[in-house]
Structure 1
Amino acid sequence: MAMTDIIERPVLAETDETGVPAQAPTAFNTSNSGFVIHRSGQIRHEFRREGREFALELAGFLNKPLAGKATIVVFEELFGQQDRVHWVQHFKNPNDYHVILDLVDHDKTFKDITERDRLAEGGGGNWERMFTEGTFSERVIVPQHGVGDHDDDDDDPTYFADPASHQTTVPEGELLHTGNAGITIMRTAHCKYEFRDEARQFAYEWANHINNTLRGSVSAFLFEETFGRQDRIHWTLHFKTLNDYLKLVELGKDETYKQILGARRVALAKGGGSWEKTFVDGTIQDLVLSPLRSGTTASGF
């Protein structure tokens, strides 16, 4: 199984009622969604296999009724917390979350997935025993608005926010994202309140340069947190392979890249300074994710 074949994609009939080949519904990801819910939970080590299979089965089931509205992709941490899984839920609009709520209340298959005995040899139980108490958390992020230079005529009112693909001129077919990348890094940073605009402008320019310079190997999108921490921004960095991270490191030799990093972002009247002055010290953090695959673990044991 390829690294990107990590969820059961929605399936349609091969042809519609007229005999014309049916068009598959859009699979959503970080490049084309308007609202993203990032949910994570810690699996107990003794149930690491069962917990992973539950995470994949649940996402695979939900993606069918969500087809055309949302797509859920499952990840695990690489070089991070062992046995922590991440469901990244990509929506056009948060109103479509009602599909999941309806399934929770009324669907027999959902009830079977979440309640049947998955731990017959381990004392019985389902997900509630597989995961460590109190470790489930959610974060909502949306594509950063007010950046990029896309045509307003392209705006789709069915989206909560313009998708991140509007932040770059790279064609959508060439972008890497949560649906096709081998490695995804979630990088977060807390902007200083007084320099919130300057920090976002730097964040956009940095990501845009990566998209243009490392086209086909790395893609970067800018998001901001919603219903959470004020002025915390998120870059989603998508790499074709782990080796492509070295290409990002090598950008340090690029003159344009150096100019972006060295440009004055803070007015002299406020003390001057480059991007370093626009973020709260110690708040830039990376979370490295790899697609969760059935029967394997990123740790190797």
Structure 2
Amino acid sequence: MSFLQVVAAEQKQGEQYVLQDISFTQLPLQHIAIAGETGSGKSTLMKAIGGLVQLDAGQVLFEGNKVKGPLDVLIPGHPGIAYLSQHFELRHNYYVEEVLSYADKLPVGEAEKVYEVCRISHLLQRRTEQVSGGEKQRIALARLLVTNPRLLLLDEPYSNLDMIHKGILKSVIADVSERLGTTCILVSHDPLDILSWAELLLIMRAGKVVQQGAPQVLYHQPVDEYVAALLGIYNLIDTALIAGLPAGKRLFLRPEQLRVVSKAKGVLAGKATRITWYGSYEEVQVNVGELSLVVRTPVGVVKRGGMVYLGIPGEDHWFL
């Protein structure tokens, strides 16, 4: 039996589909991430999974039982599913320990492990107005986890966080699965937040899932330019420029797949017009005639204004 099944889920606002024919399956402790442009239906899908939005068609099955929508129950939401909104709130003028104790449904003494996982043990005696935004988010997460959910839905958890608090929260979310045994689904706009974490990635557009699969597959083999752009910078090269490739196609390459090589080994030649330094590597804009390519290189390999000769992978080409 699957842990979670979303079957042909649909939801409309007036005549406009917000969700359309969405289906996927999640196994226990499997990491699923959902990405898509603003307004693509990500948050609505998360809320439907949690029983907070009523579906017009299809269903959500959690541990073999249908998740009922807000029109079917007195209090919306499923007791085994917790949803952390990007607009989380904490009650003012309360100690953190008080806010958490009101929600605690765990056996005596087990909440301390949740506080440790969420990196908030040192905050328990502070008042809610005395903690930072990143700390508030981890407290809100802990408040959900002490209700003992089996599935945790994280809606844009990294938005508006600085790099320090984002790094802490990433470690917390990893530990939620590994140490607490809670299965997670996560929504994010930033590919750096999901590519290394997800085992299954769903890309949404206009209420539909346009591609789903392993992150490595979607990153290197997107179905279209929309999926390609969501997951990072990419290049499209007319195959007429490269001998030995099928005619009438566009070769898809990420910046790190292009290689700076010697003139004798180059299949493309152009001028470096811009170099952007990122600390451990540089991204170089290379103009090949009217075509502009982005190449990722070690620091100092290319000089601005110089000629650059590029090689491409010898096999496993992907075309768009």
- TM-score, structure 1 length as denominator? 0.27
- Kindly name which structure, 1 or 2, has the bigger radius of gyration based on alpha carbons: 2
- TM-score, structure 2 length as denominator? 0.26
